[in-house]
Chain A
Amino acid sequence: MATPLPAPRLLPSGDSAVTVEFSRNIDDTANQRVLALDRALAAASVAGVTEAVPTYRSLLVHYDPETIDFGTLGEKLLALAAAPAPPAAKARHWRVPVAYGGENGIDLEDVAKALNLTPGEVVARHTSGDYRVAMIGFTPGWSYLSGLDKSLHMSRRQNPRVFTPAGTVSIGGVQTGIQCLAAPSGWHLLGRTPVRTFHLHREPIFLTEPGDRITFYQIDAKTFAELDRAAEAGEIIAELVAA
């Protein structure tokens, strides 16, 4: 028998939400347990639970305190976390085009300098990664990816930018990510993808799910501009790789 995994911590987030914390760190095992609890909770359909938000290390569970109280829900969540979770659906694998450097990735040269690499080496290492969507958060469709090559780990900027463009693919700390909308960010901007992870007038509205696999491939600025128009018109652009 395997050693039972340590129980997560229940952290009150006001009177209508509870954070189920599996780790304080970015940790793949913790992330898999978060996603497993997320599936188990959805399958259990607990009365009063209104929505759940998976992150790297915790699951935030929103609930209606008129229907279920903190103590009762907490016990249910701990029981679900201890039981075997429903198996995950086979992870989808998206191939995502990125135009690196130049005006699409204004930090590429500086990142290369700081890491003692050439810009080409940074791109090669970034496109050779096999990433997982660990969480989606902050702004619509912003997909946080785990699996960044160690040689590309780099602390965030001292002075976060107030504006970074839609579609930016960036690195920060041990993470890389795809942002869909223009937003403030302290990460380093490597490039841009035409892929919309969020598009209100397309089916599906949200492209990525936590647990999805992502790989990147390089395109030039001209191709980016063409694909960007198609994406705006509602094309998915990202290729779904057959398993």
Chain B
Amino acid sequence: MSKLVVSSIGPASSVQDRGRHGVQRYGLVPSGAMDSLALAAANALVGNDPSAACIEVGPFMASFTARDGAVRVALTGSPRGADVAGRAIAMNTSMAIADGETLTLGLAKGGAFSYLAIDGGIDGGATFGSRSVNQRAGLGSPYPRPLQVSDEFPAKAASGATDRQIELPDLSGPIRVVLGPQDDEFSDEAKALFLDSEWKVSATSDRMGYRLEGPAIKHLHGHNIVSDGTVNGSIQVPGNGAPIVLMPDRGTTGGYPKIATVISADFGRFAQTPAGIAFRFKAVSMQEAQAEAKKFAALLRGLPERLRAIEGSELNIEALQDANVAGSAVSAIDARTWHAETPTENP
């Protein structure tokens, strides 16, 4: 059986799917892909089930080598330089890696996480319906930890399917939030400051939480509340006033007031915000947030209709431009440092 072998890898790279749901009442968080659109797009490109597990590649360089036969893969998510044995690869395409060839990925530029789908998915047993890595809980398959050099992923022999590309909508604009659940712990001035300010994702962020840099947000009644449940995108404000957005490896409960919540349609886009790049929040109504959630779900379901075969003669300018930076250093702002410590305080 052919296989994909990790030849080099940086931190914050792990197997992720849509996560394990239904056991948050026991303190086990879902984990799952930071960018669910990129995950689904990668799976669509190689014909996998949309919920199949992919390799989530963190902001740093990585390379993967096909052994014992060819392996068909797809690459989506944060833009980055990519090549197979020197041939430039465009983002949002599928490709075959011939036996012995290496797919090399440069640093993320303009995002943080890329997704590598393997035709046929990733082998290994699921726990509570998921192969997502949750290192603290010792879960994830085939490796219950971030990826290391020499890790192997058995693959279907490349089927000779056509290389494909997928056109994804250009999602941009402010990160939309719904106020609450504890917006009443903040004054109108503090809420206005939160919504009207520019923010940056700090370099000390990880899959548990993104720390934000900007003005200090003051509480009305102090920063301790009795712990209650959290969701992906909960924006909690600890004692120092610097908000932390909770990410898929968050604690299931938290004891800081949560001023607002990133809407689900914008969560993946927020997760891809590079460290040090200014962005803004925008408050929307529950009605608008739920309408956007439905549109986003329809977008995920419609991905197969967005697939297109790549013609052999097609000259892909974007891919060639990307190739110029493959392997070369990109400004440090994209290479956030990844801390193992939790940014959330609970007990």
B181 touches A142 (CB 8 A): no
B293 touches A17 (CB 8 A): no
A16 touches B137 (CB 8 A): no
- Closest Cβ–Cβ distance, residue A77 to chain B (whole Å): 14
B294 touches A65 (CB 8 A): yes
On whether A13 and B261 interact (CB within 8 A), knowing A139-B137, A186-B347, the answer reads yes
Q: Does B253 contact A (CB under 8 A)?
A: yes
Q: Which of A51, A52, A53, A138 is most buried by chain B, counting CB atoms within 10 A of its CB?
A: A138
Q: B residues within 8 A CB of A50?
A: 21-22
Chain A residues 141 to 169 lying within 8 A of chain B, measured CB to CB, are: 141-142, 144, 156, 160, 162
A12 touches B25 (CB 8 A): no
Q: B residues within 8 A CB of A141?
A: 26-27
- Closest Cβ–Cβ distance, residue A163 to chain B (whole Å): 9
B27 touches A11 (CB 8 A): no
Chain A: CB-nearest residue to B26 = A206
Chain A: CB-nearest residue to B267 = A14
Q: B residues within 8 A CB of A55?
A: 226-229, 253
- Closest Cβ–Cβ distance, residue B297 to chain A (whole Å): 5
The number of A-B residue pairs with CB atoms under 8 Å apart is 166
A177 touches B25 (CB 8 A): no
Q: Does B23 contact A (CB under 8 A)?
A: yes
A17 touches B231 (CB 8 A): yes
Q: Which of B28, B136, B227, B254 is most buried by chain A, counting CB atoms within 10 A of its CB?
A: B227
On whether A136 and B27 interact (CB within 8 A), knowing A12-B261, A19-B228, A70-B290, the answer reads yes
Q: Does A181 contact B (CB under 8 A)?
A: yes
On whether A137 and B182 interact (CB within 8 A), knowing A160-B345, A181-B136, the answer reads no
Which of A56-64, A123-131, A212-220, A228-236 lies at the interface?
A56-64
A12 touches B23 (CB 8 A): no
The contact string, 1 if C-beta is below 8 Å from chain A, for chain B 256-294, is 001001111100000000000000000000100110111
C-alpha gap A177/B312 in the complex (Å): 63
A184 touches B22 (CB 8 A): no
Q: Does B307 contact A (CB under 8 A)?
A: no
- Closest Cβ–Cβ distance, residue B23 to chain A (whole Å): 7
C-alpha gap A179/B251 in the complex (Å): 13
On whether A172 and B264 interact (CB within 8 A), knowing A12-B181, A14-B178, A14-B231, the answer reads no
Q: Does A105 contact B (CB under 8 A)?
A: no
C-alpha gap A72/B112 in the complex (Å): 37
Q: A residues within 8 A CB of B286?
A: 12, 15, 70
On whether A51 and B22 interact (CB within 8 A), knowing A170-B347, A183-B136, A186-B347, the answer reads yes
15 extra A-B contacts, CB within 8 A, seeds A51-B21, A141-B26 = A11-B180, A13-B181, A13-B261, A14-B264, A17-B231, A51-B23, A52-B25, A54-B25, A138-B254, A140-B26, A141-B27, A181-B137, A183-B342, A184-B345, A206-B23
Interface residues of B (CB under 8 A from A): 21-28, 127, 136-139, 178-182, 225-234, 251-254, 258, 261-265, 286, 289-290, 292-294, 297, 341-342, 345-347
Of all A-B residue pairs in the complex, the 10 with the closest CB atoms, nearest first, are A60-B229, A137-B253, A14-B261, A11-B181, A15-B289, A53-B229, A138-B346, A206-B26, A138-B251, A12-B180
